Amino acid sequence: MAQSLHPAAPHDLPGFITAPGETDVLMVTTAVILLLAVVMFGLVFLRLHTLPERMAHKSQKIQFEIVAVLGLIALFTHMHIFWIAGLLLALIDLPDFGGSLGRIAESTETIAGIKPGGGAAAMRPESDSPASNEAAGAAREKFAGPGEGTGVVLSTTPGAPSARKKELRHA
């Protein structure tokens, strides 16, 4: 390095100053450290950003998809309120209304004489044919309790206007 110094340059230069045409070790080291720091900061940021989603997934929460969508909205809009809402939803355990409502629906279908899972499609008459009216009458007779011998039934016959008529049922 001594032969390439300018005559006006001081002779006691620091060691990080390189001669022309040589590799600048300090710049390469700084670039590698800066690149690693940016990558590590990005990983920590994304790991912290997905914290609510990972919490909701680990505890098998019902609202997992909502928490995930709130996290994506917070990531793309940079509005931290969505991240906070997702974190709160991940921490709160919402009750499962679906299981109770499903059991109520199955019990109601059993009481109505429909096989569970049939739903409203099984109760919808295909037509006003006498066969469907007989099936409805058989279902009423099946679930008629003691003391329910008579009742008012609306019946429709093809080609005639609907009228109320009394029908005597034997229990």
- Most confident range, picked from 13-17, 68-72, 117-121, 158-162: 68-72
pLDDT of residue 114: 86
pLDDT of residue 129: 54
pLDDT of residue 127: 52
- Say yes or no to pLDDT of 18 above 50: yes
CA distance 151 to 9: 117
pLDDT of residue 43: 96
Question: In terms of pLDDT, which residue wins out, 66 or 139?
Answer: 66
